Structure 1
Amino acid sequence: MALSSSTILSPFRVNVSTDFGSSPISLPFFNFCSRPCNNRRPSPLIVLSSKSGDRAWNEAKRQLMEQYGFDPDVALSEPTRKGKKKKKSSELQETSQTEPKPRRTTHKLLQVLGGKARRMKLLSPKGMDVRPMMEVVKGAAFDILQAAGGCPASLRPGRWLDLYSGTGSVGIEAISRGCSEVHFVEMDPWVVSEVLLPNLEWTGFLDVSVIHTVRVEKFIERAKQLAGKEPFDYISVTPPYTQVDYAVVMDQISNSALVGENTFIVVEYATRTDMLDSCGCLVKITDRRFGRTHLAIYGPKWAQKKKKLEKSLRKVAVEV
């Protein structure tokens, strides 16, 4: 029996176009794939269209498949390629969300340079989460502060404020060299619990330390409530270089109740950062470079005059 091209109209407004060719066949072969098979006869083309709702449209598809010997439950339940891609992307997203972050660990590479806790090792995080002050920079800063205070062997007693404290190495150095109390400001709870607190317990300085787990900006705004009305004798500013606007931070410090007439401020900053010659009522005593790291120290005018006098006396002694 020969079949010709014709259009079959179903009661569900489904147009079925078939093209079986002129060769006699006992049963037409239907291929629902988008690509024709090269090693088989041309497959009949089934075109489905509907102006009715989704329910009638699904029923029409089921009846048409049953008419030609297909199981509609199996055929309609097979996911499309697009659906598979969506499922795969969603599975990857769920996997990335549930994948645990790498565990943060510590090591002992830092040490106290001077004072009663000299040579004691300190914890610091592995990686670049926290960047402690280099030992050569820290040693130079304390040597300058001790000389400016009139006691080269130790710091004059007073309170120290360690902003962006991280490991606490600067504040611990201050206690070791003579400071009576240090306030540490660090916003990362993990660093506080796993690094800073163990370092204070190990060195025995926990009793003279106060830890503030808060952002530096918030601490400066609430300085009187958190640290008392009296200004600090020393302030260290050692932030992550790329995450801080030094002009904003230094302006906030200079206009706060943290600074007094006899306060010393130690600032560590990177190259290509503009630092002013004064900070409130304080003047810049020194500004040194250590590779890509710079160290600026601000202090009272009497410390600057004293430094100039010491330089002139050393010059006279050399000439004599």
Structure 2
Amino acid sequence: MAVVSSSPILLPLRMNLGSSSPNIPLFSISSRPSNRPRPIIVFSYKAGDGLASEEKKLLLERYGLDPDEFLSEPPPPKTRRRKELQKRGRGKSVQPPEEPKPPRATHKLLQVLGGKARRKKLLSPKGMDVRPMMEVVKGAAFDILQAASGCPAALRPGRWLDLYSGTGSVGIEAISRGCSQVHFVEMDPWVVSDVLRPNLEWTGFLDVSIIHTVRVENFLERAEQFVGKDGSFDYISITPPYTEVDYGVLMGQISKSPLIGDDTFIVVEYPSRTDMLDACGCLVKITDRRFGRTHLVIYGPTWAQKKRKP
């Protein structure tokens, strides 16, 4: 074994590793030229009988060499790469970018069922982002309201509050059938700008409509400022997304709210396996009907309940 160096040639240093083993040269120094920029030292030994690191260090120091230069091991490639990335501020865990959502689109599958805007088509979002009230449920609700209020041909004039309005189909139906003003409460700005407002413009009801782009919970908490001098509402429709509300909490808020009065009618759409109370504040249950997996309950004044009895 050899060490390439510019120093004079020295005799090989030999070491006896055992009685049965021949003398093996430990290392030698040669002055032969080399293309490498620095000396190379190669230790030769039998497996299991190698020199300890301290002995190697002493031998290198004896020949005037720096032990740290020859005995230090370079870091593994992966470790070196990791350190370089850390110095550059890279190598951190980065979340993959989210795929862009497809643009939301609309179609015209809904229509106004009665009144002055009858058969006019309404926009609704494609997909399940907004779930409008089914037309069979909406038609039944307005027929019951008109009969209970004593005006089978139309709604008695009044103000309507459409909670979770979405497309606005319920509130638009109310204006078409005789309501004088409707307040729409919808939290999704895109639904308001691309669905609800265009529907109101198309039917010509924008001038008698007020849109509140807020969460229903926030609207109910500030109910007093929305009631104003006009007092409570004559009609309230509640068509929330089934899985995102607690009906017990929601109806409790409404029952204690100044939004309802002694002559208010409340229309609530709710899913199966949901228990609805027999009363909502001062209002009593007028009807509770089932349409497949959808249920419809209407609360109203006691005088309206008596009118429906035979």
- Residue 175 of structure 2 corresponds to 175
Question: How far is 1:227 from its partner?
Answer: 3.4
- Residue 93 of structure 2 corresponds to 90
- Residue 36 of structure 2 corresponds to none
CA offsets 1:179-234 (integer angstroms, 9 cap, x no match): 00000011111111111111111111000000111111221221221232411100
SS class of match (1:90): coil
Name the CA distance, whole Å, in 2 between partners of 1:3 and 1:203.
106
SS class of match (1:78): helix
Do the aligned partners of 1:65 and 1:71 also contact (CA within 8 Å) in 2?
no
- Residue 125 of structure 1 corresponds to 125
Call closer, same or farther: CA 1:276–1:64 in 2, change over 3 Å: farther
Call closer, same or farther: CA 1:67–1:281 in 2, change over 3 Å: same
CA offsets 1:271-300 (integer angstroms, 9 cap, x no match): 111101111111111000000000000111
- Letter in structure 1 aligned against 2:155: L
Call closer, same or farther: CA 1:147–1:244 in 2, change over 3 Å: same
Question: How far is 1:101 from its partner?
Answer: 2.5
- Residue 143 of structure 1 corresponds to 143
CA RMSD of aligned residues (A): 3.6
Question: How far is 1:25 from its partner?
Answer: 12
CA offsets 1:147-178 (integer angstroms, 9 cap, x no match): 11111111110000000111111000000111
1:210 aligned onto 2:210: yes
Question: How far is 1:79 from its partner?
Answer: 4.3
Identify the structure with the greater helix proportion: 1
SS class of match (2:97): helix
SS class of match (1:228): helix
- Letter in structure 1 aligned against 2:81: E
Question: How far is 1:96 from its partner?
Answer: 2.0
Do the aligned partners of 2:110 and 2:124 also contact (CA within 8 Å) in 1?
yes
SS class of match (2:194): helix
- Residue 293 of structure 2 corresponds to 292
Call closer, same or farther: CA 1:75–1:105 in 2, change over 3 Å: closer
Question: Comparing 144-153 with 155-164, which one deviates more in the overlay?
Answer: 144-153
- Residue 14 of structure 1 corresponds to none
Do the aligned partners of 2:232 and 2:261 also contact (CA within 8 Å) in 1?
yes
Runs of 4+ in structure 1 displaced over 4 angstroms?
1-4, 24-29, 63-68, 74-77
When the two structures are aligned, how many residues end up with a matched partner? 261
- 5+ residue gaps in structure 1? 7-21, 30-43, 48-62, 313-320
Name the CA distance, whole Å, in 2 between partners of 1:142 and 1:179.
12
Question: How far is 1:90 from its partner?
Answer: 3.3
Name the CA distance, whole Å, in 2 between partners of 1:89 and 1:136.
56
Name the CA distance, whole Å, in 2 between partners of 1:284 and 1:189.
34
- Residue 246 of structure 1 corresponds to 247
Name the CA distance, whole Å, in 2 between partners of 1:202 and 1:28.
91
Name the CA distance, whole Å, in 1 between partners of 2:240 and 2:257.
18
- Letter in structure 1 aligned against 2:289: R
Call closer, same or farther: CA 1:307–1:88 in 2, change over 3 Å: farther
- Residue 57 of structure 2 corresponds to none
Question: Comparing 144-153 with 174-183, which one deviates more in the overlay?
Answer: 144-153
Do the aligned partners of 2:146 and 2:156 also contact (CA within 8 Å) in 1?
yes
- Letter in structure 2 aligned against 1:237: I
CA offsets 1:83-120 (integer angstroms, 9 cap, x no match): 9xxx78835x1x424x4223221111111111111111
SS class of match (2:243): helix
Name the CA distance, whole Å, in 2 between partners of 1:139 and 1:3.
107
After superposition, where does 1:171-320 map in structure 2 within 5 Å? Answer: 171-229=171-229, 230-308=231-309, 312=310
Do the aligned partners of 2:227 and 2:258 also contact (CA within 8 Å) in 1?
no
Do the aligned partners of 1:278 and 1:284 also contact (CA within 8 Å) in 2?
yes
CA offsets 1:50-91 (integer angstroms, 9 cap, x no match): xxxxxxxxxxxxx989759x999x9975348x99xxx78835
* TM-score normalised by length of structure 1: 0.71
Call closer, same or farther: CA 1:210–1:28 in 2, change over 3 Å: same
SS class of match (2:133): coil
* TM-score normalised by length of structure 2: 0.73
Question: How far is 1:132 from its partner?
Answer: 0.6
Name the CA distance, whole Å, in 2 between partners of 1:222 and 1:121.
34
- Letter in structure 2 aligned against 1:280: G
- Letter in structure 2 aligned against 1:253: I
Question: Larger Cα Rg: Structure 1 or Structure 2?
Answer: 2
Do the aligned partners of 2:41 and 2:70 also contact (CA within 8 Å) in 1?
no
